[in-house]
Chain A
Amino acid sequence: MRRGRLIGLAVALALFLALALQPGLFTPLLSLLVEPGTPLVYTRQSLIALAVWHIAVVASAEAVAVIVAVALGILVTREKGAEFMTLARMTSNLGQTFPPIAVLAMTVPLVGFGFQPTFIALAAYGLLPVFENTVAGLRGVPATTLEAARGMGMSKRAILMQVELPLAAPVILAGIRISTIINIGTATIGSTVGAKGLGEVIIAGLQAGNAAYVLQGAMLVALMAVCFDLAFRSLERRAFA
């Protein structure tokens, strides 16, 4: 199981790097998609640079989403914070159901084009899975374990840090994984407002009617998502053991 995951990760990573660094290798495949004579490899920007930007915007949005969502999840599972549950759930639900493209449209006038509106849209979009999993993970800590912790004389803070969060960690990590995977895909729309990222390749393909570009961009995004998925899964397993 663990070996399978590592092998999968190695293969996905190798493919991703090959496609990003040596896209020329794939010309035979890409040439099947388009009329002869059409450019096959996107050259306006280096693919690897776009991938790095893509990761940067997803990672920074995730960082904020995770901090906010985990903090909210902790708050609403405390005795005193239970009343915020509905509010917190509404907020994170709204973040997820409000179309990110609409968020872009609304934030561009406020913060301008590029990185910022994309970052905001992704942070809002990534909130819900992390929040829900944090709540589920914390609620899943067995009642007897909590009673033991309290009965032993641990402070509330110690119980949270030493018992609840470690026990909820695998579920919280799964939430972060889901949120990250979703946002790696969603981040492609950032290119509509001028954020640097792999969406640029896809959009260029759409505009020029070049299926080779579209496929290239899409494959890079998909492989990136697969890599993160597998990496997170092995992390989750480690957190659980």
Chain B
Amino acid sequence: MIEVRELTKRFGDRIAVDGISFEVRDGCVLALVGTSGCGKSTTLRMINRLVDPSSGEVMIDGRNALDMPLEQLRLGIGYVIQGIGLFPHWTVARNVATVPRLMGWERERIEARVSELLELFQLDPGEFAGKYPSELSGGQQQRVGVARAIAAEPAVLLMDEPFGALDPITRQRLQAEFAAIQRRRRMTVILVTHDMDEAFKLADTIAVMDEGRILQIASPEELLREPRQGFVRTLVGLDDRALRILSLHTVDEIRREPTGRWEVRGETLIDRESGRAVNGLGAGDTLREAASRIIWEAVETLPVLEAGSVVGEVRADDVWAAGGRRA
């Protein structure tokens, strides 16, 4: 649990962070979003005390971060730095091993952990462990940066634009991998990002910052349904909010019992009413995907498949209702 109270940072006359408060419960992800220079990185740096707050306090698991020994505090907090900051004179393996080494892990344990992490981030240890950062692509460096931050399984993780330099496909895959790791390890995460989609996808709570203040802090759905006037609306973007709301929900949530309409013939699934072959939805697909498929296929209902058999169906009206304004 991270609690931030009235945290303020002045650089000379300039206020970079202006009395912000929030909390992140154990195992939850908070996204800090906002335009460049609004104080996101400064907020993170005050949590691991790379920057001393001008006033206010940071509590981690009930302990005041300002009272904890500096190095001990930081060893317990994973940090993905904006701009990656790999050690250029160390190999990938040595970079990832930084914190475990500082914590005095045994060699075998470190080696096993490094291999495990590299594999997790789809960097073949045989190929990449011995490489230097300058021999990696930007995206590969970024993955090593995230691997390094979580190497010692910190309870708290601060990530400053961790997936910035990636192409959309790699970014999505990494986001999904990260979400899986986060759920499994139940890390408490603060994620800084410019990318609203990333925030909606990964965060339990989103804090919108502007000029050092938090304008609104809410769940993704609440932020989409009830954004505050002004900057928050601009940032959230109202044009496609229905679709964004849909992407927060899964088919499972609105599926109905299947009717006798669907017939499995070998590999294909036939809609008896139209006589056409259809592709079923997966139970974990988002409603946004479902909506897209419904529109594309020009149908009113689609079946939900699980392990080759029909377990339910999704009706267009239900999808529209899920994404629409509530009465």
Binding site for B on A (CB under 8 A): 142, 144-145, 147-155, 158, 163, 166-167
**Interface 1/0 per residue, B36-48 and A, CB below 8 Å:** 0000000000001
CB distance from B85 to the nearest CB of A (A): 3
Instruction: Check B72–A153 contact: CB distance below 8 A.
Output: yes
Selected from B71, B72, B79, B102, the residue in CB contact (under 8 A) with A148 is B79
Q: How far is the CA of A167 from the CA of B83 in the complex (A)?
A: 18
Instruction: Check A147–B81 contact: CB distance below 8 A.
Output: yes
| B224 in the interface (beta carbon within 8 A) | no
In the complex, chain A residues whose CB is within 8 Å of the CB of B98:
152, 154
Instruction: Check A153–B81 contact: CB distance below 8 A.
Output: no
With A145-B86, A154-B98 known, 12 other A-B pairs at CB within 8 A are A142-B85, A142-B88, A147-B81, A148-B86, A151-B50, A151-B74, A153-B72, A153-B74, A153-B102, A155-B71, A158-B102, A167-B88
Instruction: Check A153–B71 contact: CB distance below 8 A.
Output: yes
Instruction: Check A152–B74 contact: CB distance below 8 A.
Output: yes
In the complex, chain B residues whose CB is within 8 Å of the CB of A148:
79, 81, 84-87
Selected from A145, A147, A153, the residue in CB contact (under 8 A) with B75 is A153
Q: How far is the CA of A144 from the CA of B75 in the complex (A)?
A: 18
Instruction: Check B85–A145 contact: CB distance below 8 A.
Output: yes
| B99 in the interface (beta carbon within 8 A) | yes
| B326 in the interface (beta carbon within 8 A) | no
Given contacts A153-B74, A153-B99, A154-B71, contact A167 B81 (CB under 8 A): no
Instruction: Check B84–A152 contact: CB distance below 8 A.
Output: no
The 7 closest A-B pairs by CB, nearest first: A148-B85, A153-B74, A144-B85, A153-B75, A151-B79, A144-B83, A153-B71
Residue of B nearest to A167 (CB): B89
In the complex, chain A residues whose CB is within 8 Å of the CB of B73:
153
Given contacts A167-B88, A167-B89, contact A152 B102 (CB under 8 A): yes
In the complex, chain A residues whose CB is within 8 Å of the CB of B86:
145, 148
In the complex, chain A residues whose CB is within 8 Å of the CB of B82:
144
Instruction: Check B87–A163 contact: CB distance below 8 A.
Output: yes
Q: What are 11 A-B interface contacts by the 8 Å CB criterion?
A: A142-B88, A144-B84, A147-B85, A148-B79, A153-B73, A153-B102, A154-B71, A154-B102, A155-B71, A166-B89, A167-B89
In the complex, chain B residues whose CB is within 8 Å of the CB of A152:
74-75, 79, 98-99, 102, 148
Q: How far is the CA of A144 from the CA of B98 in the complex (A)?
A: 15
Q: How far is the CA of A148 from the CA of B102 in the complex (A)?
A: 14
Residue of B nearest to A144 (CB): B85
Instruction: Check A150–B88 contact: CB distance below 8 A.
Output: no
In the complex, chain B residues whose CB is within 8 Å of the CB of A142:
85, 88
Which residues from 69 to 127 on chain B have a C-beta closer than 8 Å to any C-beta of chain A? 71-75, 79, 81-89, 98-99, 102
Q: How far is the CA of A154 from the CA of B72 in the complex (A)?
A: 9
**Interface 1/0 per residue, B233-265 and A, CB below 8 Å:** 000000000000000000000000000000000
Residue of B nearest to A166 (CB): B89
**Interface 1/0 per residue, B44-71 and A, CB below 8 Å:** 0000101000000000000000000001
Q: How far is the CA of A131 from the CA of B148 in the complex (A)?
A: 34
Report which residue of A142, A145, A148, A158 has the largest number of chain B beta carbons within 10 angstroms of its beta carbon.
Answer: A148
Residue of B nearest to A154 (CB): B102
Q: How far is the CA of A148 from the CA of B89 in the complex (A)?
A: 14
Residue of B nearest to A239 (CB): B89
Given contacts A144-B81, A144-B83, A158-B102, contact A151 B88 (CB under 8 A): no
Q: How far is the CA of A109 from the CA of B99 in the complex (A)?
A: 57
Q: How far is the CA of A115 from the CA of B75 in the complex (A)?
A: 52
In the complex, chain A residues whose CB is within 8 Å of the CB of B50:
147, 150-151
Q: How far is the CA of A152 from the CA of B78 in the complex (A)?
A: 7
